[in-house]
Every structure is written in structure tokens, then in C-alpha cells.
Amino acid sequence: EVQLVESGGGLVQPGGSLRLSCAASGFTFSTIWMTWVRQAPGKGLEWVADIRKDGSENHCVDSVKGRFTISRDNAKNSLFLQMNSLRGEDTAVYYCATGSPGGYWGQGTLVTVSS
């Protein structure tokens, strides 16, 4: 059974940092692109970033460029999102998902940026 489990969310002050993790199981992690998608409270979905299966290529939305870094550890079947210089508008549930995104999503982890 495919499982994606996010962790690392929480309350952080503006300007602070958080590192989200996504633990994957039930499939060959190293063969699939992975994606982060977020959803601010009461708002729609926003694609945030993705990363190639071997980690050699990644892309992100302009609003997080220079602040967020997506990475992966294929040996540990894990996806990460390092978030620095956090702003109020980064407050959201963050989902990891397989593919562009595709058929498998985690349950999400809530990030709240507030003083």
C-alpha cells in the first residue's frame, strides 16, 4: 500500500524556518518525481515545487524562490521542503504527492506563520 506521511509542520514566527519531511512507502520512491502542493486556510490549491526522481532537477513557484528548497533522499525514501524566511502568506496545509502531482497524496501538515 502506498503511503505518504508528512511531518514537521507547526507554528513559527515570521522570518523563521521549518523543514517539512515526507516519508514514502509502498512504491519505488527513486523512480518517481515528487511534488509539494499547499493550501492556505479556506483557499484553493497551489503547486509549490517538484523534484526529479534522482534529485538532479527541481522547480518552484516564484513566490517561494530563494526561500524554499526541495530535496530528497532516495536511500531513505524521503522528500523534504526547507522553508526559510517564512511569511504570513506561507500559512497553509502542505501536501506531498507523487508525480506532477498524480495519484498519491499525503494527509498534509499545517504550517502557521504568526507572531
Partner 1 sequence: DIQMTQSPSSLSASVGDRVSITCRASQGIRNDLGWYQQKPGKAPKRLIYAASSLQSGVPSRFSGSGSGTEFTLTISSLQPEDFATYYCLQHNSYPFTFGPGTKVDIK
Closer to partner 1 by Cβ: residue 7 or 13: 7
Q: How far is the CB of 13 from partner 1 (least distance, A)?
A: 26
Opening angle at CA 114, ends 113 and 115, nearest 5: 140
**Which of 87, 30, 35 lies closest to 64, judged by CA?**
87
Binding residues for partner 1, total number by CB under 8 A? 19
Closer to partner 1 by Cβ: residue 56 or 115: 56
With binding defined as CB under 8 A, does residue 32 bind partner 1? no
Q: What span, in angstroms and rounded, lies between the C-alpha atoms of 11 and 57?
A: 30
User: By CB under 8 A, what part of segment 42-71 binds partner 1?
Assistant: 44-47, 50, 59-62
- Interface residue with partner 1 among 29, 51, 68, 106 (CB under 8 A) is 106
Opening angle at CA 16, ends 95 and 61, nearest 5: 45
Cis peptide before 14 (omega within 30 of 0): no
Q: Are 108 and 20 in contact, with CB atoms under 8 Å apart?
A: no
With binding defined as CB under 8 A, does residue 2 bind partner 1? no
With binding defined as CB under 8 A, does residue 1 bind partner 1? no
With binding defined as CB under 8 A, does residue 41 bind partner 1? no
